Each structure stands twice: as structure tokens, then as C-alpha cells.
Structure 1
């Protein structure tokens, strides 16, 4: 059992991330934990794992959870064995087999004499038998790193497993293995993910938000239906409050106009009556105070309603409704943009593809580059962009405007503020107020204009990139996306999906997220798992 009681967590600078979190997860439960980027999902998972300590409250578990971290950035120079937490046992086993049978080595091994056989079996299962335990984690691909941590489940046989975005970086074969594990295991699971296919397996969803944590008794599809109902009710509340606000403002205007007429009539009567100036001044002051009190009452009332409307609007999920208008590419559909003939690329004098690659990309297409980890997807992108040159064959690219959006959002200069960054893309000489209108449209309020780009989350960087594309004078002829959903929550993935519905240029995408590929309308694949150069004209279905 995993038990959280009245848990709160504040950042080192004192900013509160969440509070009053109560959660009980029982043996064999399988739970999805979802929420927007920045809501604290990964932090909550680390609290459950014991990696972080709560600012207040209690976290208890019947056994030590096994934690599969989200793969981002460097891993502090850990070896594979250190990342798995088996380095001491492996080293002691090697010492014992070499004749160094000490009490210390025996104590470290305990009864776990099968550790070597177990890790080899786990590596074989996750299709990474070639990895060495002394190899640095930073030398591995994202998919290999994730597989190492997933192999740790078989090595340690934990009762509780906590997974943070486990399907990120995995190819479709490994994703299917992950889905089967989640479906069939008797482990207690808590999964943080934006992968809808994965989220549909557990039958319990917890949503973490600024209001705390809320239980939905069903899989992700059930949660989505319930959120739709909630959002409809929220929209109704917003419309009711907006109507009440309009009425309150109208009443305030009518009341003030009536009071002004009364004050003016009273003043004329006083002047006709010939009252002393001192008495007239006193009566005028009393009237002004009365008017001010009436105005304050109405201002307070309209202000309260306006705050309620603002709060309700901030709670409404409008990801799918965000309208993003790209200018259209000037290229006619069908123009050949890229043509590869008998192309291959060598690493250490070994060809990447068994058969040279032949493919063609024409204007207006939506193509997915498909393949297992290590099949050469990113290499193909670099060849198309001219960042690398083929060691065999030739690749010709038309003189077009191409935007490459990688997983790190390298298009963004982290040394700039948000406002400075959009100014760099302001080729159409938009006025300051026009830029700020667009920033607000992409959910960057005034308080974020001076925020350094280095402090933005993955979802914020994605929205900023979309804003940059919209502010630029003309949409690019081709946009290349490399695993675009890896660092996005579900809301930001929907924003990204919605953005490209209106884009008429060429879209080239590397992604293992089948649902995302289908939603953006992929019509053709270049499959690097098959004989190099074979392409499929079928609708993308993995």
C-alpha cells in the first residue's frame, strides 16, 4: 500500500507547488497520474519514491518503490550498473569469483547470487543485450536509457513501481512491450504519462491540479468524457457569470446616472432657496460622500463578479480550441522538395542501412519517418537538412524555407527573454501591441514577457515556437518535428495537434505516438525498419 496524508511541497525558494494531497493506493492497483506541465506530477512521484521529502504531511509505503525516471538531460555520469543500483553487488560478486571472499563482499551479496544472470535476462528481454554495466548512461540513446530502467523492474522484482513518462523515446516495438507489462503485471503501478494508449490501460485516473488531486474511476477515455462534461458545465458557469457581470455594470451605470440627476436637482433647489454658502457646501459634501459610497458598493460587487469570471476562465481547458493561423506556403502541391537516390551513411565504416535509401518528398505531404531506436531516423533528417552528407549516393534538396523543431527546442535562444525571442522572428515589423496580442493568444501573459526562455517548461517552449512561426512573415515550406510530444502534457499535445490542422506546407514527423500521428493527418510513412527506401502510401496505422 502507498499512502499520502495531507502532503504539501514547496520549492526551495518557498513557492508552494501543491498542498493537502491525500492519496491511498492499494496492493495491485494500477493508477494513472495526469495533469498539466508544471502541476507537480514528477515531484509527487519523487515524493512517493522517497527521493524528495514533503514540506509537510506523511508519505508511507509497505515496501520500497522502484522508480523509473523521466529521461531528460544528463544522468550525472552514472554507469548502467549505478543507475540500476546493482553496482556494489556486481563488484562484490566479481571480487568473490576472483578469490577475494571477504565478510564485506559476502554481506553485500547476501543471498542474491543470481544477480548477474537476472540482469542479463532482463537486458535480453528489453532487447539491450549489447550494453555493458560499466558503460556510461550518457553514451546511450534515450530509448536505451529508458529500457535500462525498465529492465530494473525484472532485476529488482519490486511490489510497487513508479514510472515517469516511460514510453518517451521508446520505439513502437518497445512501447508494445511496455503496454503488455502494464496490462499483465500484478505490481502496484503509478504511471505519469501523456501517452493516451498507455493511460487507457489502468482503470483509475488521478488528476493533479492547482486545486489538489481528484479521482476519476476509469481509464483515460472515461476521464476524457467526464472532463468534457465538467468543461461544458464550466462554460455554462462562465456564461452565467458574464451575464451577471454585464447586468451589474448596467445597474451601476443606471444608479450613478440617477444619483447624479438627484444631486443636480438638489443643488438647484438649494440655490433657489438662498441657503447660506456654508450650509450649501456641507450639503454638497454629504451628497458627494453618498454618491461615492454607492459607487464603491457597485464597484466592489462588479469586481467580485469579474474575479469569479477570471478564475473560471483560468480553469477552462481550451487547448483544442486555440486557433493558430499559419500563412500558407507559396509552393504548389506536388513540387519535389527532397530526392534521395541510393543514399547510405556510414558509422565507423559500417553502413547504417542494409540497402541504399531511395525516397522522394513532395510539397504538401504529411510524412512520418518510422523505425526502431537506432534505425537512422535522426540521421535521415540531418541528411535532408544538409547537416550531414551521405557516404553513398546523392540527396538533392530544393531551395526552400525549412524549420526543424527538435526535442530540445533548439530554435529558441535560452539567453533571451520571451519578448526578445519573438522580436527576433518579427520579420513583418509588427507593432509592439500586435506582438503582445499574439503572445497572449499563445497563453503568455504580461508577467511572462520578461521571463527568460531558459526557465520555460517543455510545453511553454512548444507554444513559444508556434508563436514564433505565426509572428514570422511567412510560414515555412516544410516543418520537421522530431519526437514533438515527448515533453508535452496532454493539453499541450492537443494545442500542437490543433496548430498543424491549418498548416498547408509539408510536414515531416519522427514520432512513436500513433494517436498523435493519426490526429495530424499523416498520409505516408518512410519505414526504416523495412528494406531501406520502401515507403507506404497507406494511412498511418502501426
Structure 2
């Protein structure tokens, strides 16, 4: 239910980066006092907007008004691993002061620090336990926590500090299923205004409102993500239908105007002929010509007005239709027959063979060994390639691998044509241009061919000459995907490690479509259950403590 008093008001906010790039231009709008999910495409300015609301960035122009203190949980936590968790949570000073008083130190400064917050340690301990952190976590070092535990502890800190407005930027990134559920529980019980940027659709379903940042316009819909998405899709369908109707009306008015012009021209010619042949007196012919000119002017004016009105209606309808490009992949068949053995994943006496264009999902908690398994798979492909070239493969021999398989999951590729997108997308050279990066994977292709293929990944125009270091997160992902899929020859197996991290929801849609069009095998690690459901894997394997089981 909409809240009558907004928690945050934006008044024509503009932010320009030092290099002159405009991140946001005169954005206006308001966030309610409940829970709001903020969505938008990569590069639309969502993180910048949160930083402006939090005050860590100053707007170039415009004003932000917040109903109280604002706390921001950034997308990337800058963690001092030697600090105590109590510092991360924000209760260290109060906890230390209470402990000092309880040990007999009655320094007035301790009482000033404590104020009325004598139960800070108990509240923090209970909140950390509820978030799934181990006993005694408050006094542990941050470096002793996993990445997911550190995010949960920081989130608990934001909650405990009781800011009137809390901002969370992609809080579930890199978190496993259990940690995501704990974040969801915290969000469900949140008191106060909460603005969450996320591509996690399950988290967005917990929101009271959904706000979208699109083309420097902020719109707010009363309802969770699924309701907003249904409304947006229906609105766009109606907009496209209105555009089609308006285009037909404009064509009709053009046709009517041309027919009217033809009729007027024919009448004028007939009148001129009659005057030349003197079939009517000159004065009568002149009066008729003058009247015809007046009538023709009215007809032309009316037709022109109707055509202009139809054109304006088409322009208005066209502005409602979003011109969002989509990744389109049209690649050569990588030659994966239905019965072709592509890879084997094994654990002890059990093994699973990936055959043909299968989709395989690897799931499991953080730190279970999923990425290690992928790296072994990719490493075996490189060894396979070296062996095919006539050199000895690196690493342990078959006997060592068999012994390892009996105690720990292993993965082996039966092809050297493997494309690998790591979780960090770290296989790109920062100084190379987009075109140079892809040319390295497809050296026989011409620049024109590469530009045409890159355009299908929405990398076009001057963008292909930009260095990798200047790309946005979404652009880097599309480049990495293009580099793997445009390789010559194309890969028979595509290996993806958490591919939806930091991708906006529309780009996730594009990734699903791209993988549906890809005619090779796919092995993917992901905690994004919505993405996995749409991928529809033929096999799902759980990795836990390095062991592999089928689910």
C-alpha cells in the first residue's frame, strides 16, 4: 500500500562525472517510506543515484531530501580484514565501553559513549545469530568470515543502526541459497524506509513498490517486481499496438491527400482546357477558376491538417515504445552431435557424462568447490589441446586423477573447444580495444565481419574502439561472451561461473535467449534460481565440500 509521506525526494538531480560524462540528468521523483525495489538497465545510474541519496556523492545540480539519517550498503564492501566484526556492525565502541564499565572502569567517557544503549551487545549478537553467523562472531576478525558472512554482518549493522532510510546495492550478489534466504528474512522484518537495487527477482518480490530508472526518468509502481513487469509488458504491448494503428492512419491520410491532389489537378486541367476551347464565356471561366482555387486550397489544407495530426499521433505513440536492443546470436553450428561426449563430471564411483547440447547446472553453498571444479574442467581442456598438438599435458596423470576422483569431485573435458567465463571476467586485457580483444579469438575474420558480429552483442559504433578498461559491467560481460562465442572455431562447450552477477534484469533475459540459441553444451554455476529455472538444465549437480551429488 502506498505510503503518504515520501522518505526520499529527488528534485531535478543531475550528476556529471569529472570526465564530462553525464550519469543522471534532471531526475525527479520520490521513494515511499516502505520497501522499494529499484530496477533499471546496466549503466542507467542506479548505483550513482543511491550514492547521491546517501550523500557520498554531491549532485552537480538539483537537490535530494531525505526524511532522516541515511545508511548505504554498497555493492562492493571495502573490508579491513583485521577489524573486528563489531566494527563492521558498528557497535564496537559501545560494546567496549559497556565491558569496561562492567569490569569496574567508571570513566565518564564510557557512559557518554553508551548513552541508553546498554543492550547493544545482546542485540547485535542476537541479530548476527539470526543471520546465520556463528557464535562469538562479534569478536571475530572480518578476515575470518566468508564473503557471504561479511555481507550479512554488514547488513545486520545497517539494520541495527536504525537509520530512517536504508539503501542496499545488490545485497545478494555472490551469496548462496541459504545466505540469500537470510537476507530475505532481514528484509521481511525491516522497519523504516528501504531502497534495494537488485537483479534478484525473489528479493524484489518482497518489495512494496517497484521503481524504475530509465532514460533519466524515475517512475514508481505500487507493487512488487512481478506485478510491475506484467504492467510494463502490457503497457508496451498496448504502445506497440497504438504505434501500428497510428502508422496505418498516417498511411491512409497520405493516400487520401495524394488522391485529393490528383483529383484537384484533373479538375484544374479540365477547367483550363475548357477555357482554351472557349466553351464558356471568359468571365464565367475566370470566376470558376477563382472558386476552384479557393476550394482546392481548402481541400489541400484539410488534407494536410489530417496528415499532420496523424503524424503527431504516430510520433506520440512511438515515444511510448521502448527502443531496447537485445543481444542476437546467429553463429555457425559448433558441431555438437546429440551423442557426442563433451565432458565428464565424477565423484568416487559415480560419474555423469555431458552429451550433445546439454545444459548442466552446478549448485551448492559458497566455498563448496564449484569454481574449483570448473577450473579443473577448463584445465583438462587445455591439457587436451596440448596433447592434440603433440606436447605432453601438464598436471597429474590419469592414475592420479582417478585417485583424486575417489575422494573429491573431478571434471574432464573431451574437447579442447571450451569457452570459459569466470566469475570475475578476468580474461580480458584492460588496454585492448573491444575490436582487438575479439580479433585475438578470431584472427582470420575481417574487421567488417567482427564489427557485424559484435553489433549482435550490442557493441557497435565507436564502442568497438574503446579500451576494455572503459567498459561498463554489462558491456564487459557482453564482450567476454562475444569473445568466447565468436572464437574460430566456436566452442563446443560453454562454461559460465555466476554469469548473472551485476547484470540488470533485461540483460539476464538476453543471456537466457543467447544460451537458448547456442547450439553447444553449457555448464553453469549459479545461485540465481530464477535464471536456472529459465535455463531449464537437463542435469543439476550439487557440490558440497568438494563432493558431487545429483539433485
TM-score w.r.t. structure 2 length?
Answer: 0.74
Query: Using a 3 Å threshold, how does the CA distance of structure 1 residues 384 and 17 change in structure 2: closer, same or farther?
Result: same
**Cα offset, 1:498, TM superposition:** 0.7
Q: Deviations over 1:47-102 (max 9, x none)?
A: 22232233333323333233222136x54667344433334334444555565543
Instruction: Name the SS of the counterpart of 2:63 in structure 1.
Output: strand
Aligned to 1:501: 516
Instruction: Name the SS of the counterpart of 2:404 in structure 1.
Output: strand
Aligned to 2:470: 455
| Structural RMSD (CA) | 3.6
Aligned to 1:146: 151
Aligned to 1:407: 423
Q: Which runs of structure 2 are paired with 1:287-306 in the superposition (5 Å)?
A: none
Q: Tell me, yes or no, if the aligned pair for 1:325 and 1:470 is still in contact at 8 Å.
A: no
Instruction: Name the SS of the counterpart of 1:393 in structure 2.
Output: helix
Structure 1 Cα separation of the partners of residues 522 and 468 of structure 2: 26
Structure 2 Cα separation of the partners of residues 528 and 513 of structure 1: 15
Q: Which runs of structure 2 are paired with 1:504-515 in the superposition (5 Å)?
A: 504-515=519-530
Q: Which runs of structure 2 are paired with 1:271-286 in the superposition (5 Å)?
A: none
Instruction: Give unmatched runs, 5+ long, in structure 1.
Output: 256-300, 343-355, 537-542
**Cα offset, 1:234, TM superposition:** 4.7
Q: Tell me, yes or no, if the aligned pair for 1:358 and 1:532 is still in contact at 8 Å.
A: no
Aligned to 1:366: 359
Instruction: Give unmatched runs, 5+ long, in structure 2.
Output: 1-5, 262-307, 381-394
The answer to whether the aligner puts 1:419 opposite 2:435 as a matched pair is yes
**Cα offset, 1:357, TM superposition:** 8.1
Structure 2 Cα separation of the partners of residues 237 and 425 of structure 1: 44
Deviates more, 1:127-136 or 1:366-375: 127-136
The answer to whether the aligner puts 1:520 opposite 2:535 as a matched pair is yes
Which of 194, 197, 205 is the matching residue for 1:192?
A: 197
Q: Which has the larger radius of gyration?
A: 2
Query: Using a 3 Å threshold, how does the CA distance of structure 1 residues 101 and 60 change in structure 2: closer, same or farther?
Result: farther
How many aligned residue pairs are there?
Answer: 465
Query: Using a 3 Å threshold, how does the CA distance of structure 1 residues 424 and 96 change in structure 2: closer, same or farther?
Result: farther
Q: Which runs of structure 2 are paired with 1:331-342 in the superposition (5 Å)?
A: 331-339=336-344, 341-342=346-347
Q: Which runs of structure 2 are paired with 1:62-77 in the superposition (5 Å)?
A: 62-71=67-76, 74-75=78-79
Which of 205, 220, 224 is the matching residue for 1:215?
A: 220
Q: Tell me, yes or no, if the aligned pair for 1:369 and 1:510 is still in contact at 8 Å.
A: yes
Q: Deviations over 1:101-155 (max 9, x none)?
A: 4333332232323222332222222222264656245x75432232122222453
Structure 1 Cα separation of the partners of residues 446 and 21 of structure 2: 35
Aligned to 1:37: 42
Query: Using a 3 Å threshold, how does the CA distance of structure 1 residues 11 and 529 change in structure 2: closer, same or farther?
Result: same
**Cα offset, 1:318, TM superposition:** 4.0
Which of 141, 147, 154 is the matching residue for 1:135?
A: 141
Q: Deviations over 1:449-480 (max 9, x none)?
A: 22111121221112112322343223212211
TM-score w.r.t. structure 1 length?
Answer: 0.75
Query: Using a 3 Å threshold, how does the CA distance of structure 1 residues 386 and 96 change in structure 2: closer, same or farther?
Result: farther
Q: Deviations over 1:469-516 (max 9, x none)?
A: 343223212211111111100111111111000223221111111111
Which of 12, 16, 24 is the matching residue for 2:22?
A: 16
Structure 2 Cα separation of the partners of residues 449 and 404 of structure 1: 22
Q: Which runs of structure 2 are paired with 1:241-260 in the superposition (5 Å)?
A: none
Query: Using a 3 Å threshold, how does the CA distance of structure 1 residues 207 and 26 change in structure 2: closer, same or farther?
Result: closer
